[in-house]
Structure 1
């Protein structure tokens, strides 16, 4: 059954695919609610270009029902997903697991981590993990050679001052590693008290040197590069202080920088302020990814919001309490989403960017070396 054609605000537009509805700008004084015209549908169109991304018959599929919280990462060698579990603050273990996409079997990678969070692969296919640390065990960036199983600590301080709690991590094609470092471990009660640093964004040079690249964030969280690596996007989840209370005056936004000389960021500016499509809550922009067309995908409490490279909000893939996301599959055209108890997938007319190892492994044209 197809949704009804909207004529009041979208005169002349064609009918939509099954499960797709339009977003409506409401009027409070006139009693017209803002939000999806059909609240039961999974795909909400705010701009017509969203339909090109979705294709003629979009659908959300459940891949697995499991404790999946952060660090979602596609592993091309094994056609599987890695993810971290949500450790209960009463000292329950935070684990890393692997889901085989062919059999849907789930295996342990690590049964007890230092509160592992974001993960990525470097250009050689080594696993990089944001280990947030805990009391008595300082935070660090772990590198695991997946061929030998050898683990190493590649960064745990800036000028001798310990990190707060690395949250998300990305790798640039030049081999440099960039990560965010908010103080959520301290605020949530499992990390070291009395942080020694501001909440900042860091870069690890291929020679191992750690430098600050950006500050003035409340809670720098997810980060991603544009396809050509000329821009850096950083989500700020300062709206959520780490405890149940929230503050409407704190950030719930995506900041974008221009990247100069491969290592410096300039021209800081707002890319998008994030709010639930129905206004039920201010945004919690967490995980963020980019495709090769420059579209930005950000996980929020109401799902995955998709924004084009000029900052136009295209639409919403509705997933309750989405936390993070990752592109995967042989063509990197499947978007995987986690929300603490499920792993979901959506096939899109898009190719994930910022995955140098997976892209070259699958010999995708967009990742061919110049």
Structure 2
């Protein structure tokens, strides 16, 4: 996640925070009544904020935020579907645009700085998107039941991860990539009917630099959104449907440890982004809500949009615009802080 400033701090601080979260039972009064939030002690939360924000200039959002629909990006399709996986690359926003018909046909759209929308890749078969350290687009591709890499100039596709234990994946969804190129992705079953085969369980996976795929967690039903802390020493994953969770995994020596539930009671969690202070921007699909949590799991801000919501990413000329994707629609929220480009 190269777009985030790297804090000049001891990376063990946030790991210490995660270890403290497991035994903490304080509830956040700012979260919705349906949610129970695991909150770290104020001392640990302060340490985390200092660690994440040491090289971050910006102000965290608070309270009710206003999301503005980008009318120029309204869908041109007649079939119902979703926009997904926003990613900011070279002054433009790219996102997947798929429909619910057989095979979940998908294309990658581009919204440029002038507000013009064009199709970058016509038949991508994609859902979540990210950008690697070579500037290439990485996609969860349900069409191929794999994680793919696309050259946006030529449209050429290559595989990042094709199988685990001899079988293809279900429908790779969202992606997070470390600065040195390690890929994490979620594999729910939402578009598993797009092609034959799949895994026995839905899961979260890690792809090493040599292409080796390992399982991080298979205990979350339909894991969905995935992102990394600014220091890349915490992996965040959500999922679980109507009684969903946000789970945090400390990363030690490049390997994710056992996950701890940071927030529970989330209603159909979907995609996520993080800002340079480590705050987590989580979308709730059916409630059409964006919820913002600090690294301790306390809700600090929220927004509501007018269609089902799927994902979030930072972009814009200053990197302070939060873009939201949903059911045939895009929104933007102007903030006073930078964050991850996907």
Same topology, TM > 0.5 = yes
54-63 or 311-320, which deviates more: 54-63
In structure 1, the residue matched to 2:161 is 155
Partners of 1:307 and 1:337 in 2: CA distance: 16
Q: CA RMSD in A?
A: 2.5
Task: Decide whether the 8 Å contact of 1:214 with 1:265 is kept in 2.
Answer: no
Matched length? 279
50, 60, 79: which is aligned to 2:67?
A: 60
Query: Residues 341 and 226 of structure 1: is their aligned pair in 2 closer, same or farther, counting only changes over 3 Å?
Result: same
The answer to which of 142-151 and 163-172 deviates more is: 142-151
Compute the displacement of 1:55 (Å): 8.0
Give the TM-score taking structure 1 as reference length: 0.69
Contact 2:64 2:301 in 1 (8 A): no
**1:1-370 correspondence runs (5 A):** 53-54=60-61, 59-63=66-70, 64-67=72-75, 69-75=83-89, 77=90, 79-90=91-102, 93-100=105-112, 102-114=113-125, 116-133=126-143, 138-186=144-192, 189-192=193-196, 195-239=198-242, 251-262=243-254, 264-275=255-266, 283-300=267-284, 301-320=287-306, 321-353=308-340
* 3-state SS of 2:340 partner: coil
**Structure with the larger strand share:** 2
Larger-Rg structure: 1
Of residues 163-172 and 337-346 in structure 1, the stretch that sits farther from structure 2 once superposed is 337-346
- Assess, with a 3 A threshold, how the Cα gap between structure 1 residues 92 and 226 changes in structure 2: closer, same or farther: closer
User: Residues 288-329 of structure 1: CA distance to partner in whole angstroms, max 9, x if unpaired?
Assistant: 111111111001123210011111111211113221111002
Hey, what's the Cα distance between the residues in 2 that align with 1:154 and 1:204? 8
On the 8 A contact 1:222/1:286 being kept in 2, the answer is yes
Task: Verify the 8 A CA contact 2:203 2:218 in the aligned structure 1.
Answer: yes
Structure 1 Cα separation of the partners of residues 31 and 281 of structure 2: 21
Structure 1 residue 25: Cα displacement: 7.9
Measured at CA, do residues 74 and 206 of structure 1 come closer, stay the same or move farther in structure 2, by a change above 3 Å?
A: same
Question: Measured at CA, do residues 24 and 233 of structure 1 come closer, stay the same or move farther in structure 2, by a change above 3 Å?
Answer: closer
Please tell me whether the aligned partners of residues 140 and 156 of structure 1 are also in contact (alpha carbons under 8 angstroms). Answer: yes
Indicate if the aligned counterparts of 1:227 and 1:354 stay in contact, CA closer than 8 A: no
- Per the TM alignment, residue 181 of structure 1 is displaced from its structure 2 partner at its CA by 0.9
TM (normalized to structure 2)?
A: 0.75
Given the superposition, is the C-alpha separation of residues 148 and 25 from structure 1 closer, same or farther in structure 2, using an over 3 Å criterion?
Answer: closer
